[in-house]
Structure 1
Amino acid sequence: MSSLFPALESPGGKVALRFGDRSLTYAELAAATGAVARRLPVGGRVAVWATPELETAVAVVAGLRAGVAVVPLNPKSGEKELGHILSDSAPVLVLAAPGDELPAPVGDLPRVDVEVSATGGVGGALPSPSVADEDPALVVYTSGTTGPPKGAVIPRRAVAHTLDALADAWRWTGDDVLVHGLPLFHVHGLVLGILGPLRRGGTVRHLGRFSTQGVARALATGATMLFAVPTMYHRIAQALPEEPELAEALGGARLLVSGSAALPVHDHERIAAATGRRVLERYGMTETLMNTSVRADGEPRAGTVGVPLPGVDLRLVEEDGTPITSYDGESVGEIQVRGPNLFTGYLNRPDATAAAFTADGWFRTGDMAVRDPDGYVRIVGRKATDLIKSGGYKIGAGEIENALLEHPGVREAAVTGEPDADLGERIVAWVVPTDPEAPPSADELADHVAARLAPHKRPRVVHHLGSLPRNDMGKIMKRALVRD
């Protein structure tokens, strides 16, 4: 297989990575990653202590250049989860920044400190065996919401295909400068946010810690693209009235991209009204990398994740597996995908791997969606937590959440279902009110939703909360929501 990073084969003086006031040119990155790669064993797996620092990017790229599989570790994980990941993936060593204190059991592994100031060894062949398309590039662990985290084995083929498909969809080139402040142990922040620009020969500016001021500064000084999750865009939308420099900077960006969860329509509209720019959404998973996106040359329609990326096949199916052939914007089905963007399986879990695929080779995403007549995909939620069967209807939680967020008294909202003797399931809204002293009533919110969607989609129960439980990527953890 050809190099994942052609720009490192004949590197120059262009800046490749910038983290705060620290940066590496492509020549410096080639030298630093080459020096680390030469210290890695042939084959096997290596762990990376994935802090949002320059050393993490160098470590991961070094592993990929050396042809070993990289296991990114979330520094916020607890000892039990880290122990499971390490026993499951069995890395031979851990790569970390000098001075980083590693907790047990990570600290028990042989350690290689990542020096980013290495010199010599620029470009050229590395002392590693030739690598093939199907060789593992990364082992990324899922969130473990239904049991211990599973390690998704992502081959080099999937990384290359996804990044090249996004380059086609987003007109992504080496002239682009990407800014983001996402974690580096996840597909969004690491594969798209770090490896993506490096494959194109472009530049990454990592904020270290997300802030609206940091976004404004980066976009006002040459950055062309912003990657963020909905929580970040929500903060941006809230800050826009008070930060005119932020609105101006966003208005000058070539591309604003959101992912990892659905971006509420209300935030879409607030950002577009203030900046004149539309946020594009894309859809992917750890196991599939990226499946769909709104294209840079397409209609940036709020509430959709666009169309399948080049090379990706996507279908919606009924509960019995029957494909849904009508693109009517109403028929809800589970998304199934196939293509070169998919993982090869769950590490050490042939049972889970087999269960994840249909007999004819499609991956079961567990996400529910509808398709508009022009093929645009609108995700309505997860099959396990967001598909509500009430009164004979199949209802997606996502559209109700968007409707609730249009109410001025609602700051955040989540929707779930709970058993109901008459309806099968009743719709439950979990709401963070704009004014905790004067929250909107259940009847008021029910009428608000019924007027926008349909009477059968109104919430029957409303709970008021101070905040919604979220994970590191800003996704609402609905399993943590319990009835009073």
Structure 2
Amino acid sequence: MVLLRSLNPLAVARGDDLDAAVTIGDTVLSRSAILGAATSVAERVAQADRVAVLATPTAKTILAVVGALIAGVTVVPVPPDSGKAEREHILRDSGAQAWLGETDDHCDTLPVVPVRLHARSWHSYPEPAPQSTAFVLYTSGTTGPPKGVLLSRSAIAAGIDALAEAWDWTWRDTLVHGLPLFHVHGLILGILGPLRIGSRVIHTVKPTPENYARAKGSLYFGVPTVWSRIAEDEEAARALSGARLLVSGSAPLPVPVFEKLRDRTGLTPIERYGMSETMLTLSTRFDGERRPGWVGVPLRGVETRLRDEKGNDVPHDGESIGGLQVRGPMLFDGYLNRPDATAESWTEDGYFKTGDVAVIDEGGFHRIVGRESIDLIKTGGFRVGAGEIETAILGHPSVSEVAVIGVPDADLGQRIIAVVVRKPGSPEVAEAELVELVGGELSAHKRPREVRFAETLPRNAMGKVQKRELF
């Protein structure tokens, strides 16, 4: 099992070396250039166990990651915007022995191994064991410092191959995205995916509508914030009409954005679901139904189920909410240095407890309601998903963004509150109007008890709303 299949020297020798295998900003790399430069990196780090990479959107970041993988060295991607305390925790917890590639003024705690774009080596390294750890990805939970997620080479290969089947992703595609290179979406799927499948990739550095329109790809990755901006830019949206697939993930795609994107590009977006611990496990398919607000069916090799608080099965009726559990070959091997958290996350029969709540319909289609810890609201004896209320409110023409939370209430247990951002230049909307909108589309007990208006919603680098900052 060769993880970076399209960099295999035999593939290059057969003439499969594309002139522009990877384009990132103004830098263009062929497959032979990547292989030669990355192997030069491998020679410098081959004796290390783990190296940290400051994951800026540059060619040197890509070569650093690929070089370490060639040598069988575990990569610890570090977000460039991480604060001092977070960065120190990642380095200390991971046991990284050096910085590999570009650094900044705050990266003075470890030796630095340079990455040179034009260096070349053709030394041959044996393929590391499939079960060896390729990455330690740090993911923030609801409490405590970020945990290191251990992802093996075999899990990454299985995840990419399952997506290739679901999306009909082949070497003929040109993938375009401008996502950060320190997580599953942008780095593993967005860079290693093309290097395994053999397709071209254009990283736009910044995911602006203009950059996406200019790239002329066949397959596009974006988070909802990116797609919202593209949908509002009619010229950019129409420029994407020649693509094959538009893929949205990392957060729910609002239904109005889904519909406007479809109307202006002529393409119905693909939505999918995953997390650092699981890679991607659910997606709508290239040849299947694409339903706004739903993330599709299990990928090849994936099994899912819903459980209530007592561990009982939740019916697949499209309405009943339960905790989502998954198992499959692309799941992680546990949390680094956290056997307690690892044990708590798995069931005895091998399912990972995602911490998300969802519904599944009779046909196996999944809709993610949100995080069990914050998006499952228990009010007046009812279990309510924040996501369905948000979807209803986003249907109002004056609403740009919304986050629904449940706050403690002496009478109800939790009181539903909606935090709303108005669209610039749109007519003002009254609180009562939004409450009535929800009551007309959903059950009466799902109506917000309060609507607050805000200029913006707090988001992280992936575009996910940070609801805990709203309490």
- Give 1:263's aligned residue: 253
- Give 1:117's aligned residue: 118
User: TM-score of the superposition, structure 2-length normalised?
Assistant: 0.96
* Residues 127-172 of structure 1: per-residue CA shift (max 9 Å, x gap): x6x5222110000000244110000010111100000000000001
**Within 1, Cα distance between the matches of 2:277 and 2:465?**
20
Quickly say closer, same or farther: Cα 1:70–1:456, change in 2 above 3 A: same
Pairing 1:290–2:280 present:
yes
Pairing 1:85–2:75 present:
no
* Residues 179-233 of structure 1: per-residue CA shift (max 9 Å, x gap): 10000001100001000011011111000111101111112xxx11100001111
**Within 2, Cα distance between the matches of 1:90 and 1:198?**
27
Pairing 1:237–2:231 present:
yes
Counterpart contact for 1:8–1:26, Cα < 8 Å? no
**Within 2, Cα distance between the matches of 1:473 and 1:181?**
11
Secondary structure of 1:179's counterpart equals: strand
Counterpart contact for 2:25–2:58, Cα < 8 Å? no
Secondary structure of 2:468's counterpart equals: helix
Counterpart contact for 1:43–1:67, Cα < 8 Å? no
Alpha-carbon shift at residue 359 of structure 1 (Å): 2.2
Counterpart contact for 2:7–2:31, Cα < 8 Å? yes
Secondary structure of 1:39's counterpart equals: helix
Counterpart contact for 1:8–1:27, Cα < 8 Å? no
Alpha-carbon shift at residue 43 of structure 1 (Å): 5.1
Alignment of 1:50-449 (within 5 A): 50-97=55-102, 100-103=103-106, 106-121=107-122, 125-126=124-125, 131-219=128-216, 223-240=217-234, 243=235, 246-324=236-314, 326-434=315-423, 439-449=428-438
Show structure 2 runs of 5+ residues with no match: none
Secondary structure of 1:87's counterpart equals: helix
**Within 2, Cα distance between the matches of 1:462 and 1:440?**
11
Structure 2 counterpart of 1:323, one-letter code: D
Structure 2 counterpart of 1:422, one-letter code: D
**Within 2, Cα distance between the matches of 1:45 and 1:196?**
22
* Residues 317-345 of structure 1: per-residue CA shift (max 9 Å, x gap): 11111122x32100100110111111101
**Within 1, Cα distance between the matches of 2:184 and 2:3?**
20
Secondary structure of 2:411's counterpart equals: coil
- Give 1:17's aligned residue: 22
What is the percentage of aligned positions where both structures have the same residue?
Answer: 51
Structure 2 counterpart of 1:125, one-letter code: S
* Residues 43-101 of structure 1: per-residue CA shift (max 9 Å, x gap): 5111111001111111111111111110001110011110011010111111123xx42
* Residues 345-386 of structure 1: per-residue CA shift (max 9 Å, x gap): 110111111111112221110100001111010011110110
**Within 2, Cα distance between the matches of 1:468 and 1:16?**
37
Pairing 1:28–2:33 present:
yes
**Within 1, Cα distance between the matches of 2:17 and 2:92?**
41
Alpha-carbon shift at residue 13 of structure 1 (Å): 3.5
Secondary structure of 2:457's counterpart equals: coil
**Within 1, Cα distance between the matches of 2:427 and 2:239?**
35
Paired positions, count: 466
* Residues 420-458 of structure 1: per-residue CA shift (max 9 Å, x gap): 233221210000122589642221110011111222111
Secondary structure of 2:45's counterpart equals: coil
Quickly say closer, same or farther: Cα 1:451–1:22, change in 2 above 3 A: same
Show structure 1 runs of 5+ residues with no match: none
Structure 1 counterpart of 2:338, one-letter code: R
Structure 2 counterpart of 1:135, one-letter code: S
- Give 1:452's aligned residue: 441
User: TM-score of the superposition, structure 1-length normalised?
Assistant: 0.94
Structure 1 counterpart of 2:250, one-letter code: S
**Within 1, Cα distance between the matches of 2:135 and 2:105?**
21
Structure 1 counterpart of 2:37, one-letter code: A
Q: CA RMSD in A?
A: 1.5
Secondary structure of 1:284's counterpart equals: strand
Structure 2 counterpart of 1:8, one-letter code: N
Structure 2 counterpart of 1:167, one-letter code: A
**Within 1, Cα distance between the matches of 2:120 and 2:145?**
41
**Within 1, Cα distance between the matches of 2:203 and 2:451?**
39
Structure 1 counterpart of 2:33, one-letter code: E
Structure 1 counterpart of 2:70, one-letter code: R
